[in-house]
Amino acid sequence: MGKKEKEVRPFGLRDKVGYLFGDFGNDFTFIFASAILMKFYTDVMGVSAGMVGLMMMLARFVDAFTDVAMGQIADKSAPTAKGKFAPWIRRMMGPVALASILMYAVWFKDMSLGFKTVWMFFSYLLWGSICYTGINIPYGSMASAITSDPKERQSLSTFRTIGGSLAGVMVGVIVPMVVYYKDAAGNTMISGTKTTMMAALFSVLAIVCYTLCYALTTERVKIESVREKFSAKSLIEVTFANRSMLGIILAALLCLLSQLTFSSMGNYIYPNYFGSSAALSISGLLGIGVILIFSPFISKLTGRFGRKEIASVGAVIGFAALMVARIIHTHDVVVFLVLYTISYCGQAVFNLVVWAMITDVIDDIEVKKGKRRDGVIYAVYSFARKLGQAASAGLSGLLLTSVGYTAETAFDEPVVNGIYDITVLVPMLGFGVLALVLIFLYPLGKKQVEENARILAEKKNTDEEG
């Protein structure tokens, strides 16, 4: 056994780059759907924004079962030569790519509204609740199996965020240049055919990224299969009786509410309020620029101050910048982009550390409960992120409908002013509550994380000696 362990390749850059490609692949379909799906169905397929938002919210109730079920499956999976979680990436990468294309079925645009609504529900549930869940839960759980070292986990979190951001910049920069065009009246419109073509392209790129993730990463921490039967009671206890788990759940929900509202509403505020699809591309470039600037320093910052501590500061920065944007209600796209960039600085800090924070929570629960349930805990966390996605889509859809948005009224002055308010207010409130959750509820500051790592290291050494 000892000889075999020595033959395992040490943790290094290959693992970090491989893990980066996993989120790169995930976010080709996730960010694309978050950013463009509502715009596609409202402006191309003729479905109301409220109906699209309702669908996304209802899908999260399905996810409550599928996420936890996939977490159970992942935990009970027998380790293979490649590991416990990595095989699921290879199994599910084809289905998730195909399901993503089916969501943008422009060939059905002339069908009845009832048919298009049913297809929208079917394809979205197939992609998000089944296929995406089937690959995302094992991928997220895999971080704990790649390394047990807190600093190395932080590097995985950083590289994962970079991967997602690279996908985000490709979606945010390329898509507006391809799918938008000017009509005869000079209005910025979306092309359904080109949207479907982009969905197909991103699906192919996602498969390439998943393949690289599978090939480059190594699971070196042995995590045994869970044999005990699923217990709803124990799941509820893990979720609600543990402050660290409850804190990270609320933090994830609020962060995704803020982040994805900005993402999805960008397809309305830039073309409709500012009359510039180019600004949408610029905002994507600014976002990746912020991530790349912060990435080299994040490990040093967390090592000195702690993940909770700098994430809290980031949330306050995001809130403050958006409050200024709300107060001045600018019509200058440059001023808005500056405030957006400042806000994104706060969001970027949180995103760079959050994936390491969930491994901190997994460790904390193991210390307190004596059991390690990476798959189920990550599944609950993933479900919380999807709730944030649903809250963003649901609120955005309902609020767009409430201000009178349709394809026909898309450029009316009261409607575009309403678009501005939605784009700024929802993320601003999300950041404000996120700061309160991190400061007053989430307990895993720097000292506690280091203490938990020490306890688990001693336990491992005792087990090996025994």
DSSP category for residue 217: -
Paired tokens of 68: 């936890």
Provide the pLDDT for residue 151.
78
Provide the pLDDT for residue 398.
81
The residue among 436 and 290 whose pLDDT is bigger is: 436
Provide the pLDDT for residue 238.
62
Reply yes or no on whether the pLDDT at 7 is more than 90: no
At residue 3 the predicted structure's pLDDT band, cuts being 50, 70 and 90, is very low
Provide the pLDDT for residue 5.
46
- Rounded mean pLDDT, 447-455: 86
At residue 466 the predicted structure's pLDDT band, cuts being 50, 70 and 90, is low
CB within 8 Å of 57: residues ≥ 6 apart: 390, 391, 393, 394
The residue among 381 and 329 whose pLDDT is bigger is: 329
CB within 8 Å of 299: residues ≥ 6 apart: 151, 154, 155, 158
Taking the CB of residue 323, how many other CB atoms lie within 10 A of it? 18
**Element at 92 (helix H, strand E):** helix 86-102
- Rounded mean pLDDT, 171-181: 83
Reply yes or no on whether the pLDDT at 65 is more than 90: no
At residue 72 the predicted structure's pLDDT band, cuts being 50, 70 and 90, is confident
Taking the CB of residue 122, how many other CB atoms lie within 10 A of it? 12
Provide the pLDDT for residue 86.
85
In terms of Cα–Cα distance, which of 124, 102, 92, 120 is closest to 25? 92
Report the share of the chain in percent with pLDDT over 90. Answer: 27
Rounded Cα distance between 407 and 426, Å, is 22
pLDDT tens digits, one per residue of 383-396: 777 777 777 777 77
Which of 166-180, 300-314, 439-453 has the lowest average pLDDT?
Answer: 166-180
Provide the pLDDT for residue 241.
65
Task: Look at residue 190 and give its three-state secondary structure.
Answer: strand
Paired tokens of 397: 């859809």
The residue among 415 and 9 whose pLDDT is bigger is: 415
CA geometry: angle 178, 188, 324, nearest 5 deg? 100
Rounded Cα distance between 393 and 410, Å, is 18
Mean per-residue pLDDT of the chain: 84
Which of 24-28, 188-192, 223-227 has the lowest average pLDDT?
Answer: 223-227
Which of 238-247, 251-260, 261-270, 295-304 has the lowest average pLDDT?
Answer: 238-247
pLDDT tens digits, one per residue of 119-149: 999 999 999 888 998 898 888 888 878 887 7
